Structure 1
Amino acid sequence: MNFNNSLDKIENHPKTITTTTGTTAPMTAKVSPAAKKTLLILNCILLSIGNCGGPLIMRLYFIHGGNRVWLSAFLETGGWPFIVIVLIVLYLHRRISRINNETTTRFIFMRPRLFFAVAVIGIITGLDDYLYAYGVARLPVSTSALIIASQLGFTALFAFLLVKQKFTAYSVNAVVLLTVGAGVLALHTSGDRPEGESKKEYVMGFVMTVAAAFLYGFVLPLIELTYNKAKQEITYTLVLEIQMIMCLFATIFCTVGMIIDNDFKVIPREATEFELGKTKYYIILCASALIWQCFFLGAIGVIFCASSLLSGIIIAVLLPVTEVLAVVFYKEKFQAEKGVALVLSLWGFASYFYGEYKFTKKLKNRTHSSQQLVAVGQTNV
């Protein structure tokens, strides 16, 4: 079976598994192991590039003279046309293959009910983009990355409220550890304040970043709830459509903010005054949009090919990588408080995902036992 044939089967044999992380992971059946592994590796690479590169290049813009928060928020989802390109490629592939002897090939799978729900989530994501961009503008990358780690706790809370997700000792432990980690940073807010920045601006950046983690923790379970209420099969193409619509409406939200804040008028002057030069200014903006789309495409790709568990683990593993890169490239301070917060964050991640692993293993054992009972019953008959 070649890779293209595997894509056919990915599109036509979907099923979903709900995990304890508060997300619904679209899974596939009857897929070539080689093709699935190739697609998984590709998405892991995209996720790694986006997760580490996104915060770093955004901070690069602010360090060298950029100060448009709405523009930075816009760039987080402004690369959504790249998803359109992927959808066009998948459409052409389906049309050439004529899967299941179809007389016509659908370009859009999303139904109106799902479209409006995803549009609302997109607007909320746009607000979250602004909060996060504001925080990155005021805080070192190493600090903002540690604060954002607290979103896992917020995800657990909202998963419980929205989709009746049950808490375990591991998830509760993770919430406590991540909260304490953020608290440790809050107690020493002046230790890594960038030069020339007031304490008020720094505190506002801290608060905005916590708010961004809080809001994103709400978005993930909201997406799961949307999947559950969609009343249609979740395929890889539909997942891409959902991501595209979310990014589109988030971008529209940020565009309105840019218009109100006169960003479009200021951009040419800011580019001229940028410390690294006008050309590098526009290169940074384009690269930022591309890198953030790598994050989105990689995240949903890993969830589809494997599980949300693996996606979360990759993000957790990359957290210290982002920390080290920020210290190396931007010469950021790494005080003892950050070290303690980092250890607590990683401990929280490990606790949460170990609980996920045990839950998944228990579920598989239960399913296997049920299948054995059915087999025994059929043999007796």
Structure 2
Amino acid sequence: MQEDGEASSERQKRSSKRLLFLINCLMLSIGGSGGPLISRLYFLHGGHRVWLSSFLETGGFPICLIPIFISYIRCRLSRQPKPFVFIDARLFVSAFVIGVFTGLDDYLYAYGLARLPVSTSALIIATQLAFTAAFAFLLVRQKFTPFSINAVFLLTVGAGVLALHTSSDRPKGESTKQYVLGFVLTLAAAALYGFVLPLIELMYNNSKQRLTYTLVIQIQFVISFGATLFCTVGMIVNNDFKAMGREAREFGLGETKYYVILVFSAIMWQFFFVGAIGVIFCASSLLSGIIIALMLPVTEVLSVFFYKESFTSEKGISLGLSIWGFVSYFYGEYKLTQKNKQNNPTPQPDFTPTLANP
């Protein structure tokens, strides 16, 4: 009977881990496709404040207080109460430093999005996977298979195809210099966030505290706070707070929709960041990068559908290579799982990622 109880408890834990993983994948997917689209909507209808746009990418961090508060109440009301674990000073400092890097990345990405169509920006951001893979290998000793190496190569080449004809989809009224600068800064944003993801995983691995999902949300709160503080300084220097009222009155969709767009932008991007850091907790930084890149086709289709952006032959080739890369990665993971099952007959969880203890 005791063995049956332990087996049942183990199955319940695996189910909880799978559910947590899927929820974070869903948040990452929604934010990864919705965030760029709403941010671009701001720029398309008269928004010009790059620092404001970068601020919104992490400015929704107070949302994290909701699950933290719920977890705190559950601990207090539990029949077997256990102390609520707050983030310690060492982890706080590490998260805050990563937050500053994230704030810089927010600015680089926002500047590029202001100059590039969403579809082009999304394809450039796909190179992030190559940077994530490289830094994951250096920082956390990520293991690679021929399939994962092939996926990284294809995604990188796919994004590089865009550089061959960058002027084909340059927005009207924008100089070649501005377009190229947007292209370069978007690529820099991809590289920087490709560094941030494995850095978060390294922080997890070196943590002296036992990681729980509640603690992960606290870490995300601190990271977003650091990033938002960085962007707030930029907004103050650039007089963005003073200019918001005038920009709202002149906004193409009206003053009310201006503020609605700002609010939804902050919410969507917080979904993205919480999902990304959650997937790292559940699996790895490389898988988080894979899922971010996986949303590329969705963003491509939605941007062409909603914003009437052109879908050039270069984008078609790039998209095809990207999809090929996705298939290669997940086929490799499937083959690896099957091999592990043959070598180890012990029942395994029925999904590829290996989840951390919640």
Q: TM-score, normalised by structure 2?
A: 0.87
Residues 359 and 110 of structure 1: CA distance in aligned 2, closer, same or farther (over 3 Å): farther
**Alpha-carbon shift at residue 38 of structure 1 (Å):** 5.9
Between stretches 88-97 and 75-84, larger displacement belongs to 88-97
1:57 corresponds to which residue? Answer: 38
- Aligned with 2:77 (options 96, 99, 113): 96
**Alpha-carbon shift at residue 259 of structure 1 (Å):** 1.1
Q: Amino acid of the residue matched to residue 167 of structure 2?
A: S
Unaligned residue ranges in structure 1 (runs of 5+)? 1-12, 14-27, 372-381
Between stretches 53-62 and 257-266, larger displacement belongs to 257-266
**Alpha-carbon shift at residue 183 of structure 1 (Å):** 2.0
Q: Is the 8 A contact 1:132 1:209 kept in 2?
A: yes
After TM superposition, the structure 1 = structure 2 runs for residues 219-234 of structure 1, keeping only pairs within 5 Å, are: 219-234=196-211
Q: Amino acid of the residue matched to residue 239 of structure 1?
A: V
- SS of 1:249's partner is helix
Deviations 1:272-306 (A, max 9, x none): 11111111111111110011112223344456567
* Residue 173 (str. 1) matches residue 154 (str. 2): no
**Alpha-carbon shift at residue 194 of structure 1 (Å):** 0.7
1:187 corresponds to which residue? Answer: 164
- SS of 1:31's partner is helix
After TM superposition, the structure 1 = structure 2 runs for residues 1-381 of structure 1, keeping only pairs within 5 Å, are: 30-31=12-13, 33=15, 42-99=23-80, 101-102=81-82, 105-106=83-84, 108-301=85-278, 314-363=291-340, 366=343, 368=345
Q: Is the 8 A contact 1:156 1:171 kept in 2?
A: no
**Alpha-carbon shift at residue 249 of structure 1 (Å):** 0.3
Identity across matched positions, percent: 66
Q: Is the 8 A contact 2:51 2:240 kept in 1?
A: yes
Q: Is the 8 A contact 1:122 1:245 kept in 2?
A: yes
Unaligned residue ranges in structure 2 (runs of 5+)? 1-8, 349-358
Q: Is the 8 A contact 2:111 2:182 kept in 1?
A: yes
Deviations 1:140-160 (A, max 9, x none): 001111111111111111112
Deviations 1:294-323 (A, max 9, x none): 222334445656777875665444321211
Q: Amino acid of the residue matched to residue 128 of structure 1?
A: D
Q: Is the 8 A contact 1:326 1:332 kept in 2?
A: yes
**Alpha-carbon shift at residue 268 of structure 1 (Å):** 1.1
Q: Is the 8 A contact 2:58 2:225 kept in 1?
A: yes
Q: TM-score, normalised by structure 1?
A: 0.82
Deviations 1:228-250 (A, max 9, x none): 11122111101111111111100
Deviations 1:38-88 (A, max 9, x none): 656654443332121100000000000101111100000000000012201
CA distance in 2, matches of 1:82, 1:169: 40
RMSD (Å) for aligned C-alpha atoms: 2.6
Count residues in correspondence. Answer: 340
Residues 370 and 182 of structure 1: CA distance in aligned 2, closer, same or farther (over 3 Å): closer
**Alpha-carbon shift at residue 110 of structure 1 (Å):** 1.4
Residues 311 and 227 of structure 1: CA distance in aligned 2, closer, same or farther (over 3 Å): closer
- SS of 1:187's partner is helix
Residues 81 and 53 of structure 1: CA distance in aligned 2, closer, same or farther (over 3 Å): same
CA distance in 2, matches of 1:126, 1:250: 4
CA distance in 1, matches of 2:290, 2:136: 18
CA distance in 2, matches of 1:160, 1:308: 10
Q: Is the 8 A contact 1:148 1:210 kept in 2?
A: yes
Between stretches 173-182 and 203-212, larger displacement belongs to 173-182
- SS of 1:191's partner is helix
Deviations 1:111-170 (A, max 9, x none): 111111111111001111111111110110011111111111111111121122244322
2:354 corresponds to which residue? Answer: none
CA distance in 1, matches of 2:187, 2:112: 9
CA distance in 2, matches of 1:157, 1:45: 25
